[in-house]
Amino acid sequence: MEPNHNSQKEIASLQNELRNYREEKEKIRMIIGQIGGAESNKRDRLLNIAFIAFLVILLACDLVGHFMPAWQMLPSLISLEIGLLMISLKIIWMIHKQAKVEHFQFWILNSIEFRLNEISKRLADADKNKNS
């Protein structure tokens, strides 16, 4: 009766591991969706298009103002400062996105290391039990 009892424990343990794996897989899917899923890519693309369009319009208005002073909407220095502010905001946004990606990569690698250590301990315990 002992081998049957041990196999039931092993089956229960494997089912528990499978459940934990599925839960972790769902967590990873949710995190990937938050970091860089398809919806995020569409939003990023639209934001980049809007950003570039704004800078091109600002440049066009400034150039028109240089060649036709009567049509000048903003002083050159103000448009330069606005453009510099927009580019600075874009760089800050890119740094923030990169930090999120690096944090996610660290989390994945840490999780893999934890799993490898756990498997290594199990193998060591199995070897001890086998040799005993």
Residues 80-130 have pLDDT tens digits of 999 999 999 999 999 998 998 888 888 888 888 888 898 889 888 888 888
Q: Kindly state the DSSP code that residue 74 receives in the 8-state scheme.
A: S
Task: Provide the token pair at 102.
Answer: 């690096």
Burial class (CB in 10 A: 0-12, 13-18, 19+), 30: exposed
pLDDT of residue 88: 96
Q: Give the pLDDT confidence of 31-71 residue by residue, as tens digits.
A: 766 655 555 678 889 999 999 999 999 999 898 988 888 88
Of the candidates 35, 53, 55, which has an alpha carbon nearest to the alpha carbon of residue 43?
35
The whole model's pTM is what?
0.58
Amino acid identity for residue 46 in this structure: L
Q: Is the predicted pLDDT of residue 1 greater than 50, yes or no?
A: no
Q: Which residue is associated with the tokens 């002992």?
A: 2
CA distance 8 to 117: 25
Confidence (pLDDT) at 86:
94
Going by pLDDT thresholds of 50, 70 and 90, the confidence category of residue 76 is confident
Structure tokens at 54: 């704004």
Q: Give, in degrees to the nearest 5, the angle at Cα 20 between 16 and 24.
A: 170
